[in-house]
Structure 1
Amino acid sequence: MADGIWDNGGAPTGGPRLFPDALPDGVGARRRSAAGELALPDWFAPLLSRLHRSRAEDFTRLPTPNEGGRDSAVLVLLGEEPDGGPDILVLQRAATLRNHAGQPAFPGGVADPGDADPAATALREADEEVGLDPSSVTLLAELPTLWIPASDFLVTPVLAWWHRPHPVAPRDPGEVAHVARLPVAELCDPANRLRLRHPSGWIGPAFEVRGMLVWGFTAGVLSTLLDMAGWTRPWPQDRIADLPPATPPPAATADADEQP
């Protein structure tokens, strides 16, 4: 994206970059679009305020390689439940895929040459995967690019607000098996939280919600954002389960341990 589009207000280099006018205003948070000023739910304000002050190290322990890697992006799309609480759009990848088969994930994928920036990649992929209307989404922030060594993806999470939610569903069953809006209240329920241990010795956060076991890169990003928003509740971090030996190694996020 061209210089001048982003405004991080002096945030540390390498940290999240907030879109203009997505900064908290002390009461709530607002985002100005072509249609005028759009008010965000009050629960967004603490998250945006913390993101504004955060660093890349808050999201990952792995440095981004200087060469190689496949540029990718995912859409971290927060909506609002009928009762006013936040939820997050997550899909379950088809079991036949070569990379991360069967895993819950954010919508997203590899950048195309015609994509202007990570946000364009994330929106295009979300449309292709689950039929998300890009005009229903308000972009808020581009998070630091995270490296997934197992697949050599360089993934940029793009935070957004689903201001006009609509039905979504898998467009290609060969890529996406299931789509769900996971309530943040359920993600934060201590009964739904655990840590998973990979045969390599990696241990990282995980969530068991609505029949999905969310772990790896997706769980790491979720756990970090829940902490930043102040939504995390105390949970039993000694609850550890083992992943099958054939499971590919995940990315190392800030909430992951390198050994038991």
Structure 2
Amino acid sequence: MPAVPSAHLSPHALRARFAKPPVWQPEVERETSFSTRAPAQAAVLVPIVMRGTDVAQSTVLLTQRATHMSTHSGQIAFPGGKVDREDANHQATALREAQEEVGLAPQHVQVLGELPVYVTGTAFWVTPVIALVSPDFELTPNPDEVQDVFEVPLSFLMNPANHRRHQVDWQGQQRQWFSMPYHEARLGPNGQSEAVERFIWGATAAMLRNFYRFLVVNPVQ
């Protein structure tokens, strides 16, 4: 399958896409359930950071969850969490959680729209909220929830050459999932560049895969 053309990843093209969305179906909608608790509504923010003037410089801001979290500990995730009764809607949940988790202030965020609900194996019904983010923000990650914050080029995530599909038999059921391993160059303790693998998988990779499907079908002209 083709990569999403860079011109279709520009802020203008993304706004146009959500203003007149195509008829489409998400590729992955739910995981094999391994939880007995009641379903919980949740929302995540998919923050597209508008870096530089070149559309190829746009990135997606992601977090690595703290290792002591009760669910999905240590995994790569979008900022987000469960819907509170005080939240007006899923977008309000995503914005509130992004501010609480990483300190991303709402004034830096322009919501474009939502993707269909994705159901995790832990019984979270997650609404992905897609948004553009101005790059002049300052983050203050909450160490109780977030171990690290980093960015991955949007063009990398919207290229299926970087998408891997996995399949395994687990407890008598067949489980399938996507991963999008990304190698980030960072300065090590000795001041030299070293590669850090960001293993994006599970629900986060599935929602990114659906975002790819949303953008690639009948591309914006």
CA deviations on 1:33-89 (whole Å, 9 max, x unpaired) are xxxxxxx7234157437744234x555157xxxx94111110111122223323211
The answer as to 2:198 corresponding to 1:212 is yes
- RMSD, matched Cα: 2.9
C-alpha separation between the residues in 2 aligned to 1:59 and 1:71? Answer: 18
Correspondent of 1:60 among 26, 29, 49: 29
C-alpha separation between the residues in 2 aligned to 1:228 and 1:190? Answer: 13
The runs of 4+ residues in structure 1 deviating greater than 6 Å are none
Query: Quick check: 1:79–1:165 contact (8 Å CA) kept in 2?
Result: no
Correspondent of 1:177 among 124, 143, 147: 147
C-alpha separation between the residues in 2 aligned to 1:122 and 1:138? Answer: 12
**Where does the alignment leave 5 or more consecutive residues of structure 2 unmatched?**
1-6, 32-36, 185-196
The answer as to 2:46 corresponding to 1:76 is yes
C-alpha separation between the residues in 2 aligned to 1:225 and 1:126? Answer: 19
- Overall identity of the aligned pairs, in %: 33
More strand by share: 2
Query: Quick check: 2:180–2:201 contact (8 Å CA) kept in 1?
Result: yes
Tell me how far 1:167 sits from its aligned partner. 2.8
**Where does the alignment leave 5 or more consecutive residues of structure 1 unmatched?**
1-26, 30-39, 232-260
Tell me how far 1:105 sits from its aligned partner. 0.7
Tell me how far 1:152 sits from its aligned partner. 1.3
The corresponding residue for 2:80 is 108
Q: Number of aligned pairs? A: 188
Correspondent of 1:154 among 113, 125, 147: 125
More helix by share: 2
Query: Quick check: 1:59–1:144 contact (8 Å CA) kept in 2?
Result: no
| Map 1:125-204 → 2, pairs under 5 A | 125-148=97-120, 150-163=121-134, 165-171=136-142, 173-188=143-158, 192-200=162-170, 201-204=174-177
Aligned-partner SS, 1:218: helix
Aligned-partner SS, 2:92: helix
The corresponding residue for 1:87 is 59
Aligned-partner SS, 1:81: coil
Aligned-partner SS, 2:84: coil
Tell me how far 1:192 sits from its aligned partner. 4.0
Task: Look up the equivalent residue of 1:147 and give its one-letter code.
Answer: V
